Chain A
């Protein structure tokens, strides 16, 4: 299975993502520079965290000016998995691939550490290796982590089981519905604000993020038995 890691100027967590997929998961990931992106040959696209374009205008907004965005939208529409982490999640909301938008943290400050998440949906291609209501500890680092959707959208997300992860002890940063991770309507795109690729080895403080990547690989393997 081939993963593309879509790199923008200012992406920072692309290296962690590369390590998690190539060294820990044991799949194949390649960096794809946004300007010369050719995504069609890949099986999944990872939009890593960081601060693309310096977070100018709004976090994730200026990536809309990249030629990669039309390709990313087409890739998402094709039904293949797309994962946006941190700033990657912000890019996906700005591109209208995922609902909502991000505001400055309620406490105004950049915050980082580890946060407990509850797995709400265990049926998606990203979460089926978790148990329902499982609590996992995942690192986070953000200043614009205050996820906003209006009431109507929140209800729609709940009804259709599109909330993949919530902050177990409520969102300190102000996120609507304590949402930490959300799926698109088709279920093949996930945005998650904390950083699962930083929790894939005991030596760096936990492996609670690994089942997310294993889920993607498992589903792909099941669907591609003849090529295995």
Chain B
């Protein structure tokens, strides 16, 4: 089995309402060094390790479903085969 982590964030050009609210809250708590907060999500995929073109397949999964390219950017990390 191969583990893949997909990190999804809102595009820089898109205002992040949650991040803006969290930034305000951090400033209220006295963390005055906070200049910006962006909130994203982590998607963990567990894939059949026998697949050879994992990278192509993961990109396809992201572009077809997991992320929305109008508003989101993504990057991914392919982990070591965890074996079973």
Q: Which of B49-73 contact A (CB under 8 A)?
A: 64-66, 68, 70-71
Question: Contact: B65 with A103, CB < 8 Å?
Answer: no
For residue B29, CB closer than 8 A to chain A, the reply is no
Assuming the contacts A148-B70, A148-B71, asked whether A103 and B17 have C-beta atoms less than 8 A apart, the reply is yes
Interface centre among B10, B14, B65, B70 (most CB of A within 10 A): B70
Which A residues touch B71, using CB under 8 A?
Answer: 101, 103, 148
Q: Does A157 reach chain B (CB closer than 8 Å)?
A: no
A100 lies within 8 A of B65 (CB)? no
Q: Scan A137-168; emit 1 where CB is below 8 A from any B CB, else 0.
A: 00000000010111000000000000000000
Work out how many contacts link A and B, with CB atoms closer than 8 A. 39
Chain A contacts for B64, CB-based, 8 A: 64
Classify the interface of chain A: helix, strand, loop or mixed. Answer: loop
Asked if B21 is an interface residue, CB under 8 A from chain A, the answer is yes
A residues within 8 A CB of B66? 57
What separation, in Å, do the CA atoms of A225 and B73 have in the docked complex?
A: 50
Interface size on A, residues (CB 8 A): 22
Q: How far is the CA of A94 from the CA of B70 in the complex (A)?
A: 9
In whole angstroms, how far apart are the Cα atoms of A149 and B68 in the complex?
A: 12
Interface-located stretch among A39-47, A104-112, A123-131, A211-219: A104-112
User: What band does the interface of chain B fall in when counting residues whose beta carbon is under 8 Å from A?
Assistant: 10 to 19
Closest to B64 in A: A64
Q: Which residues on the B side are within 8 Å of A37 (C-beta)?
A: none
On chain B, the residues within 8 Å of A174 by CB distance are 15, 17
Against A, the Cβ 8 Å flags (1 = close, 0 = not) of B6-50 are 000010011101100100000000000000000000000000000
CB of B76, distance to nearest CB on chain A (Å): 16
Whole-angstrom distance between the alpha carbons of A198 and B1 in the complex?
50
Are the CB atoms of B70 and A146 closer together than 8 Å?
no
Contact B65 A64 (CB under 8 A): yes
Q: How far apart are the CA atoms of A174 and B71 in the complex, in Å?
A: 14
B interface residues with partner A (beta carbon < 8 Å): 10, 13-15, 17-18, 21, 64-66, 68, 70-71
Q: What 9 A-B pairs are tightest by C-beta distance, nearest first?
A: A101-B70, A101-B71, A104-B17, A101-B68, A106-B17, A108-B17, A148-B71, A64-B65, A58-B68
Other than A58-B68, A103-B15, A108-B17, give 7 A-B pairs with Cβ distance below 8 A: A93-B70, A99-B70, A101-B70, A106-B17, A107-B17, A148-B14, A148-B70
The 27 listed contacts between A and B (C-beta, < 8 Å) are A57-B66, A58-B68, A62-B65, A64-B64, A65-B65, A93-B70, A99-B70, A100-B70, A101-B68, A101-B70, A103-B10, A103-B14, A103-B15, A103-B71, A104-B17, A105-B17, A106-B15, A106-B17, A107-B17, A108-B17, A108-B18, A108-B21, A148-B14, A149-B70, A150-B13, A150-B70, A174-B15
